[in-house]
Every structure is written in C-alpha cells, then in structure tokens.
C-alpha cells in the first residue's frame, strides 16, 4: 500500500526508525522505552543499539547534514536511506513510499534511478580511467556507450576535471579522486546524493576546496544532499539543516543559526562551543538595524538632518523600493549643500552589499577595507540591516578568547 506524504517540501522522512543488532531485541526495546541508554542495554542483553526511535524529515533540494561522534549512529541513518541498513522497526519514506517494504527488484531500480552514494574511500576502480569510472553507473543502467560517455564528460567538467577523462586513477591526488567519485554519483542524475564523511581523509586545504565545490554544484543543480560528518565547522558551513545524533538517538535538528542560538541541551552546547564562531555565525546573527537612511530623491538637507539626529557620519541611500543604491557621507553632503548639488550627484555607489547568510569569516576582508558598514540586503536588494567593523572584530575576538581559555585549562 502506498504511503502518501502530506508535505511536498520534504523528500525523505524517517518515522520511528530503530536499528538493533542481537538476539534479545524485544528485551532491549523494553529497556530503551524505559529510558535505558545503549550501554546499559548492551551490558544486560548483548544487543547493540545503532538507532532508536529516530524521526526526521529531509528538505528537498537542500543540504542536510548529520553530525555525531564515532558510534553515534549517523552512518546507520544515511545507510537506511538506500536500505544498505534495513531498519528493525519504523518507516523510511521516499516521496511518500516506504522503501523498507520494497521488493528486491524495486530496490535495485530505486538505487539506480533515485539515489547515489559517495564514500570516504572513494570506491574507484584502478583498472578504469577517469571516464570509465564516472560512466560506470550509467553502464550498469544499460545506457549505450556514446550516450553514457557524453553524460560522464558533462559530470567530469562539472567537478572541475575537464581534460583529465583519460587519466588513470593512480595518477590523481586525493582531492581529484574525490572529485571523480562525486562526478560518478552526479552522472546518473540522482534525486538524492548520500555522502558519508567524503572529505575526512583529505588535507585541510583540499577539504576546503571540496566543500566549496560541493556548495557550488548543489546550488547550481539543486540536488538534495545528505552529508555525514563529525566536524561541527564542516556541518555548519555546508548544512542548510543540521541533525545532531548521540548514542543512536536524535538530539536536535535545526539550522546552524537556530542551534547556535538555542542548543537543545548541554551536549549540543558543548558540541557547538568547539566550532569557530566566525565559521558558524552569519551576517544575520550580528547585523543591526540602520539608524539612518534617505531616499535617492530626498534633499541634501534631509540627509544632513538625519545624520545630526542619529549622530552619524553617513547614511544609506535607497530608492522607492528600499533597494540600496549606496551611501552618502557627511563630507559629501556638506559639499553638495555648498554647491547646490543633489544626493544623486555625490553619493558613493561602491559599497559592500551582501545577503544575510554570508559567514562572518567571509566578511572580514570587507570590514578591513571598507570605510562604511557592510550592507545586508534581501534577495530583492532591499535593506535589511548593517554589519559594522566592530561587530565583525568582536565575533572573531570572541572565538580567539575561547581558544585562549581552552589552552589555559591545559597549562
């Protein structure tokens, strides 16, 4: 029987999913329902609790990150989405269909058509070149050679490996091999991409490059990506939504900003404290409402009055739709008054304009170079707030002080 999901914004849903290994599972379930933890259950029954009563929804077309320590159950969750791990209890719905009940034939079709996986170990075949590896999934689907190689070449170009299609796998660096693994997954055009700690074996610089590459590709293709990591900085950098798991249980799900502002418990709070705040917090978290702005058609006298009233040395210039056009300084306003000029004649157009979701660390170069506050706008270019140089420096200093305190505890 077909299960229908009411919410079309979610592509995958887990309902009361548990995964237990061992013979005395009924006894283990009884203990878990009464509040026993996985260690107590294992000690008494010998049953290993990989997951217990997990409920979550994965938004369509976004990056959903699952984070947890080793043994937390995060990889078991992701392997439940393609039934590499079959739940002991519960449902896993893909577009409303429970994949737990799928026949073997339907499951093979599902894995070929709907979902693809990128592994930490790359999983590449050394006897095939780059093109042969990327085209492999299409070959398994029975697509003819000319068509599959054309699609594989498109995927190779997408991940930045154009010109390397004939290269051997052994000749590639770790970062390049991971790009091949990503291209192979993308070549089959899946609806969902599963990534189980794909960048953890890479050095930090290559890892940063691959994170940026993934973000760029996902924003371009709007694929649903489910990403596993143990690194909170990576989780908050990549995730539109983040889920934290501990000992087989889901602790909290939310945006990085929501978790940073309202951690569910002390465990989540400690987890988040280990993150670099500048890599977690966005302009939205530190922006303030502008005290003064004038419209492009306002008089210079109005601009001067606004600055005097609020004790400002500049104000933002907007049009009738509140779209930011620039900024006018006190010096330029006084010059315009003396010479009978208009705001449109003297305002500064070259200002830093960004959207609220930009990370604080990415604001630092702008804050150093700009004479004016950084302008925060919505997707239509309308003024939402400003970020001052002082607020950026304060955020960076906060993390620096936390690191110093952490170091002092080990002296």
Q: Which of 109, 84, 116, 298 is nearest to 189 (CA)?
A: 116
Express each pLDDT in 352-397 by its tens digit: 888 888 877 788 778 777 778 888 888 888 888 888 877 777 666 5
- Decide if 349 is inside a domain: yes
Express each pLDDT in 289-333 by its tens digit: 888 889 988 999 999 999 998 888 888 898 888 888 989 999 999
- Whether the per-residue pLDDT at 125 is higher than 50: the answer is yes
Is 270 found in the same domain as 208? yes
pLDDT at res. 42: 95
- Decide if 411 is inside a domain: no
The two three-digit tokens of residue 356, written as one number: 């609220």
pLDDT at res. 279: 63
Using alpha carbons, list the distances in angstroms from residue 299 to 77, 334, 343. Answer: 61, 12, 7
Is 335 found in the same domain as 212? no
Last residue of a domain, one of 275, 309, 331: 275
Is 75 found in the same domain as 30? yes
Average pLDDT estimate for 251-261? 88
Is 297 found in the same domain as 203? no
In contact, 329 and 348? CB cutoff 8 Å: yes
Is 315 found in the same domain as 226? no
Least confident span in 3-12, 24-33, 213-222, 252-261? 3-12
Is 103 found in the same domain as 195? yes
In the chain, % of residues over pLDDT 90:
51
Is 14 found in the same domain as 96? yes
What CATH number did the domain enclosing 72 receive?
3.40.50.300
- Decide if 126 is inside a domain: no
Last residue of a domain, one of 275, 310, 331: 275
- In the chain, how many domains are there? 2
What CATH number did the domain enclosing 330 receive?
3.10.580.10
Which residue segment(s) compose the domain that 298 sits in? 285-394
Express each pLDDT in 52-78 by its tens digit: 999 999 999 999 999 988 889 999 999
Structure-model confidence comparison of residues 114 and 201, the more confident one: 114
In contact, 169 and 125? CB cutoff 8 Å: yes
- Decide if 58 is inside a domain: yes
Using alpha carbons, list the distances in angstroms from residue 28 to 35, 53, 91, 143, 406. Answer: 11, 13, 19, 47, 39
pLDDT at res. 8: 67
Is 344 found in the same domain as 215? no
In contact, 67 and 74? CB cutoff 8 Å: yes
Is 16 found in the same domain as 85? yes
Average pLDDT estimate for 131-150? 91
Is 266 found in the same domain as 297? no
In terms of Cβ atoms closer than 10 Å to its own Cβ (0-12, 13-18, 19+), residue 262 is exposed
Bridge partners of 282, per DSSP, are 359
The rounded distance, in Å, linking the Cα atoms of 66 and 43 is 27
Average pLDDT estimate for 188-201? 90
Phi (first) and psi of residue 309, to 5 degrees: -65, -40
Is 235 found in the same domain as 292? no
Is 271 found in the same domain as 195? yes
- Whether the per-residue pLDDT at 136 is higher than 50: the answer is yes
pTM over 0.85: no
pLDDT at res. 323: 87
């Amino acid at each position: 029987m077909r299960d229908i999901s009411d919410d079309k914004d979610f592509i995958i849903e887990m309902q009361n999913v548990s995964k237990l290994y061992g013979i005395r599972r009924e006894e283990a379930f009884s203990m878990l329902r009464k509040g026993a933890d996985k260690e107590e259950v294992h000690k008494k029954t010998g049953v290993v609790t990989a997951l217990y009563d997990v409920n979550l929804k994965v938004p369509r077309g976004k990056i959903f990150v699952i984070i947890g320590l080793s043994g937390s159950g995060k990889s078991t969750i992701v392997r439940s989405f393609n039934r590499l791990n079959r739940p002991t209890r519960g449902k896993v719905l893909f577009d409303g269909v429970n994949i737990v009940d799928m026949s073997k034939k339907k499951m093979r079709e599902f894995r070929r058509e709907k979902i693809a996986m990128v592994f930490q170990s790359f999983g590449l075949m050394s006897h095939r070149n780059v093109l042969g590896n990327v085209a492999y999934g299409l070959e398994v689907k029975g697509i003819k050679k000319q068509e599959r190689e054309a699609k594989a070449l498109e995927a190779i170009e997408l991940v930045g490996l154009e010109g390397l299609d004939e290269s051997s796998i052994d000749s590639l660096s770790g970062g390049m091999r991971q790009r091949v693994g990503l291209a192979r997954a993308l070549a089959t055009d899946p609806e969902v991409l599963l990534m189980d700690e794909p960048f953890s074996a890479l050095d930090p610089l290559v890892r940063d490059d691959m994170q940026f590459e993934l973000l760029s590709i996902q924003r371009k293709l709007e694929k649903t990506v489910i990403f596993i990591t143990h690194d909170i900085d990576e989780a908050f950098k990549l995730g539109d939504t983040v889920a934290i798991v501990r000992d087989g249980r889901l602790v909290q799900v939310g945006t990085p900003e929501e978790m940073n502002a309202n951690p569910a418990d002390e465990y989540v709070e400690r987890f988040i404290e280990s993150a670099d705040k500048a890599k977690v917090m966005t302009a939205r978290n530190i922006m303030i409402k502008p005290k003064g702005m004038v419209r492009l058609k306002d008089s210079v006298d109005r601009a001067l009055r606004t600055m005097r009233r609020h004790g400002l040395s500049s104000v933002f210039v907007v049009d009738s739709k509140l779209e930011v056009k620039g900024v006018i300084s006190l010096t330029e306003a006084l010059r315009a008054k003396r010479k009978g000029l208009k705001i449109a004649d003297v305002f500064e157009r070259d200002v830093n304009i960004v959207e609220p979701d930009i990370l604080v660390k990415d604001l630092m170069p702008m804050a150093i170079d700009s004479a004016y506050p950084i302008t925060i706008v919505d997707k239509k270019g309308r003024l939402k707030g400003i970020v001052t140089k002082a607020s950026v420096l304060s955020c960076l200093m906060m993390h620096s002080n936390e690191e110093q305190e952490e170091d002092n505890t080990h002296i």
